[in-house]
Chains A and B, each alone.
Chain A
Amino acid sequence: MASAFEYAPAPESRSVVDIAPSYGLFIDGEFVDAADGKVFKTVSPATEEVLAEVAQAGAEDVDRAVKAARKAFEKWSALPGSERAKYLFRIARIIQERSRELAVLETLDNGKPIKETRDADLPLVAAHFFYYAGWADKLDHAGYGANPRPLGVAGQVIPWNFPLLMLAWKIAPALATGNTVVLKPAETTPLSALFFADICRQAGLPKGVVNILPGYGATGAALVEHPDVNKVAFTGSTAVGKAIARSVAGTDKKVTLELGGKGANIVFDDAPIDQAVEGIVNGIFFNQGQVCCAGSRLLVQESIQDELLDSLKRRLSTLRLGDPLDKNTDIGAINSSEQLARITSLVDEGEAEGAERWTAACEIPSAGYWFAPTLFTNVTQAHRIARDEIFGPVLSVLSFRTPDEAVAKANNSQYGLSAGIWTEKGSRILAVANKLRAGVVWANTFNKFDPTSPFGGYKESGFGREGGRHGLEGYLDV
């Protein structure tokens, strides 16, 4: 929006974080080189600047890390729960203390706005550890019988969209229940996990309880397939999730998968419109739409479609895209050139299929990976942009006439992770929520997260739940 009130740049200081030129793998409490000496570079997606060189774990390193975790498991699982709890409380506190540093780091490595890392990611990370810390000595009361046992070594593979938060979702419940962990962060965002290794050191966590192995897909596959891993937890694409499900077939490995989505955000004609517009914006443009539970399909009742779209476009025009470290930035960088290429190709396909594209006018920085907030109208269920997960700031708008039709369209997807309902009519919320085949339903809100609240999908969005009491189950032998 052109305005007389131009906000001067308000960048968060980079000096709060000290990134070393190179990082090793974190195995058995030490930073070590990869056995084959391989390294890769991690860049800032907003500037394409190389942030650091990171050791790339191979199969041999995976084996070493799993052995370290196995060795540590005996003592760690035998610790009284109250002692494990205190380690986790320590970790939660250290994260709170270092949250500004970690927020800046995450923004640098991921490209998401500092506003989000500061106000969403980091508070949720600390809260998650704090929440599961409290479970460690209360497992007898969790509803899984007396003295539920841990599984052993957990192999965990996490995505790049919420690097530290996904780490917290994986590691906190694993450690609280007495498992030890080998975690592979995504290749484009390894740094916060490596900083987390330092937090483990500060917390005095016993060696080998947490091992961090940066690497690409092959590293993840080696970890998941390692015969001495008892538990596999994966967050990422549905395609990889299926491959993992195949690879663990016939084993005793317990698996939880948190995969893709194509969330429907349903707006009825009696919705609180201004809040619905905010919810739609938050639903698809939070973290540049690189969110598995994004409300990427807007289902709007036909009678208010024009009015709602006008409001939505007006609102989108106020979004500020640019330097993720600027405290006023709403839309940061896309995480990688690969992801940008994927978004671009799906958007091109949307246009080719005849959907009508509207993109907010905003200046795109010359370096880095960017995609301006975009919406498509005249989209039908038959369009690929209405079915495939785009994982970017692209909203597909579809209309419906009746609640039945809204539910049918919302459920007409291979996915079943999230959905939104906007109406002032209480009974309609409950009726529609009841019929939606999705693991998380946000009514008159969207994209809310909390460590006490179970999260996870139906259908091809995966299985198992993370968060809450339910999140313990995936790490217990029950």
Chain B
Amino acid sequence: MSESTRLNVFKTYKLYVGGKFPRSESGRVYEVTDSKGKWLANAPLSSRKDARDAVVAARKAFGGWAGATAYNRGQILYRVAEMLEGRRDQFVREVGEAEGLSKSKAAAVVDAAIDRWVWYAGWTDKIAQVVGGANPVAGPYFNLSTPEPTGVVTIVAPQDSSFLGLVSVIAPVIATGNTAVVIASEKSPLPALSLGEVLATSDLPGGVVNILSGKASEMGPHLAAHQDVNAIDLTGATDGGLARDLEIAAADNLKRVLRPRTEDFAESPGTDRMTAFLETKTVWHPTGSLGASGSSY
């Protein structure tokens, strides 16, 4: 085998913020090991300033992404699946190492994650029809409710399901037009950081998804209290009282909060991860009659 004669080229894992791949501004890294404790890589240990930069990037990207056509968002999410499919082997390896899975089990997880992108790609232009609609008000008014993205969503990604869980929390957030600041699994951030590379080559505008590695307990409180973040997904905030603390901080500007819950990411996801980060806008307009020859009522 060539392995004996050729030295591997290691990858430097970097953050994904605003479409670019910066190191942590703090210059800090931490050691990431596989499930057996073997060194895999040094990941950036993001700081609150990295988190702040990620929010700025996510906010900047929001208008364009929310304003893109649902069809366009669907195309891009599907493109993510295509790109992942092409790098399937890499993710099978990374997920296997991160989660201590056999190659076949890791492959199943990666396949499920790819399929999840496909699932949400198809949802982008259907969710409005399912959760919105015309309201038959008792008067001469046209009245329509449509879902709209909440804005910038902070996601504390699942700690254990480093890839399928990650995809399962990011895809529904951005499918509907939100932008995301993701705190990857602290102990297994590498699949998340690699996903950033895939997203960057999938026509996804920079800033729509921003991926930070490091400690949820360090960045979480700043993101939860950040006044320019509209919502927070606490799925991965399973440590002690972290979820509660973050929920309290999130109340400062009344963020929409998705609390942690037991979840099997292998199951069919349903729509509630999308609706958790949707607002409903209802627009009224008079209809009236065709002419003045009778009452509109």
User: Of B247, B253, B279, B285, which one neighbours A460 at CB under 8 angstroms?
Assistant: B253
Q: In the complex, A252→B131 CA distance in Å?
A: 24
Q: Does B48 contact A (CB under 8 A)?
A: no
Picked from A249, A463, A468, the residue with its CB within 8 Å of the CB of B256 is A463
Pick the residue among B136, B254, B257 that contacts A242 (CB under 8 A).
B254
The distance in angstroms between the C-alpha atoms of A455 and B284, with both chains bound, is 12
In angstroms, Cα B151 to Cα A252, docked, is 24
The answer to the question of B100 belonging to the interface, with a C-beta cut-off of 8 Å to chain A, is no
A460 to B284, CA, bound (A): 22
Interface size class of A (residues with CB under 8 A): 35 or more
Would B135 and A454 count as touching, CB distance under 8 A? yes
Is B143's CB within 8 Å of the partner chain A?
yes
Collect the chain A residues with CB atoms within 8 Å of residue B239's CB. Answer: none
* With contact pairs A444-B285, A458-B279 given, residues A452 and B136 touching in the complex (Cβ less than 8 Å): yes
The 8 closest A-B pairs by CB, nearest first: A250-B244, A249-B247, A245-B251, A450-B137, A452-B135, A443-B285, A246-B251, A249-B248
On whether the beta carbons of A450 and B244 are closer than 8 Å, the reply is no
A259 interfacial by beta-carbon distance below 8 Å:
yes
By beta carbon, the residue of chain A nearest B136 is: A452
Q: Which of A250, A257, A454, A473 contacts B282 (CB 8 A)?
A: A454
Contact B283 A441, beta carbon cutoff 8 Å: yes
Please name all residues of chain B whose beta carbon is closer than 8 Å to the beta carbon of A478 when the two chains form the complex.
Answer: 272
How far, in Å, is B6 (CB) from chain A's closest CB? 53
With A246-B248, A439-B281, A439-B282: A468-B135 Cβ-Cβ less than 8 Å = yes
Contact of B135 among A453, A462, A473 (CB under 8 A): A453
28 contacts between A and B (CB under 8 A): A127-B138, A241-B254, A242-B252, A245-B251, A245-B254, A245-B257, A246-B248, A249-B248, A250-B241, A250-B244, A429-B285, A439-B279, A439-B282, A440-B281, A440-B283, A441-B283, A441-B284, A443-B283, A450-B137, A450-B139, A452-B137, A452-B143, A453-B137, A468-B135, A468-B145, A469-B133, A470-B280, A478-B272
Q: How far, in angstroms, from A444 to B282 measured CA to CA in the complex? A: 14
Name B254's contact: one of A445, A450, A459 (CB within 8 Å): A459
**Cβ A465 vs Cβ B280 within 8 A:** yes
Q: Does B130 contact A (CB under 8 A)?
A: yes
- Interface membership of B98, Cβ < 8 A: no
Complex CA distance for A149 and B285, rounded to whole angstroms? 35
User: Is B243 part of the contact surface with A, judged by Cβ < 8 Å?
Assistant: yes
When A127-B138, A462-B254 are in contact, do A249 and B244 touch as well, CB less than 8 Å? yes
Q: How far is the CA of A454 from the CA of B283 in the complex (A)?
A: 10
Closest-by-CB residue of B relative to A124 is B138
Closest to A460 in B: B254
Residues from chain A with Cβ under 8 Å of B58 in the complex: none
413-463 of chain A: CB within 8 A of chain B: 414, 429, 433, 436, 438-445, 448, 450, 452-456, 458-460, 462-463
Contact with B along A259-275 (1 / 0, CB 8 A): 10000000000000000
Q: Does A143 contact B (CB under 8 A)?
A: yes
A440 → B minimal CB distance (Å)? 5
List which B227-255 residues lie within 8 A (CB) of chain A: 230, 241, 243-245, 247-248, 250-254
Interface-central residue, B135, B272, B282, by most chain A CB under 10 Å: B282
Residue of A456, A460, A470, A478 most packed against chain B (CB within 10 A) = A470
A238 at interface by CB-CB < 8 Å: yes
Quick check: B253 and A414 within 8 Å, CB to CB? yes
B286 touches A455 (CB 8 A): no
Q: Which of A433, A441, A445, A470 is the one whose CB lies under 8 Å from B141?
A: A445
Question: What CA separation (Å) do A454 and B130 show in the bound complex?
Answer: 15
Q: Name the distance in Å between A442's Cβ and chain B's nearest Cβ.
A: 5
Given A450-B139, A453-B143, 12 more contacts at CB 8 Å?
A: A249-B251, A414-B253, A439-B279, A442-B283, A443-B283, A443-B284, A445-B284, A453-B284, A456-B280, A460-B254, A468-B145, A470-B131
Q: Is the CB of B284 within 8 A of A442?
A: yes
A250-B247, A459-B253 are contacts. A439–B280 as well, Cβ < 8 Å?
Answer: yes
Bound-state CA distance A454–B250 (Å) is 25
Q: How large is the interface on B (under 10, 10 to 19, 20 to 34, 35 or more residues)?
A: 35 or more
Q: How far is the CA of A436 from the CA of B141 in the complex (A)?
A: 20
With both chains docked as a complex, state the minimum distance between the C-beta of A21 and any C-beta of chain B, in angstroms: 38
Choose among B131, B254, B279 the residue that contacts A238 (Cβ–Cβ < 8 A): B254
Which of B138, B143, B243, B272 makes the CB contact (< 8 A) with A250? B243
8 Å CB interface, A154-174 against B: none
Contact for A453 among B250, B279, B282, CB less than 8 A:
B282
A290 CA / B254 CA spacing, docked (Å): 22
Residue of B nearest to A441 (CB): B283
**Cα(A200)–Cα(B243), bound, Å:** 40
Contacts of B281 in A (CB 8 A): 433, 436, 438-441, 458
Query: What residue in chain B is nearest A461 (Cβ atoms)?
Result: B254
Is B283 a contact partner of A450 (Cβ separation < 8 A)?
no
Question: Which chain B positions have C-beta within 8 A of A433?
Answer: 281, 283
Report B-chain residues with C-beta under 8 Å of the C-beta of A241: 254
Please name the residue on chain A nearest to B145 by beta carbon.
A454
Q: Which residues of A contact B230 (CB under 8 A)?
A: 459
Interface centre among A453, A463, A469, A478 (most CB of B within 10 A): A453
Report how far A243 CA is from B282 CA in the complex, Å: 27
Known: A245-B250, A450-B137. A440 touches B279 (CB 8 A): no
Nearest CB on A from B196, distance (A):
28
CA gap between A252 and B261 in the complex, in Å: 10
Which B residues lie within 8 Å of A468 (CB)?
Answer: 135, 145
Contacts of B145 in A (CB 8 A): 453-454, 468, 470
Residues of B within 8 A of A438 (CB): 281
Chain B residue with the shortest CB-CB distance to A242 = B251
Interface centre among B243, B275, B281, B286 (most CB of A within 10 A): B281
A448–B137 CB distance below 8 A: yes
C-alpha gap A463/B232 in the complex (Å): 13
Q: How far is the CA of A473 from the CA of B145 in the complex (A)?
A: 15
| CB-defined contacts of B248 to chain A, threshold 8 Å | 246, 249-250
Nearest CB in chain A: distance from B139 CB, A: 7
Chain A contacts for B285, CB-based, 8 A = 429, 443-445
Q: Closest residue to B271 on the A side, CB-wise?
A: A143
CA distance A443 to B138 in the complex (A): 17
B-chain residues with CB within 8 Å of residue A441 when the two chains form the complex: 281-284
In Å, the complex CA distance between A250 and B234 comes to 11
Shortest distance in angstroms between A460's beta carbon and chain B's nearest beta carbon?
Answer: 5
Q: State whether A143 touches B131 (Cβ < 8 A).
A: yes
Contact B243 A463 (CB under 8 A): no
Q: Are B254 and A463 in contact (CB under 8 A)?
A: yes
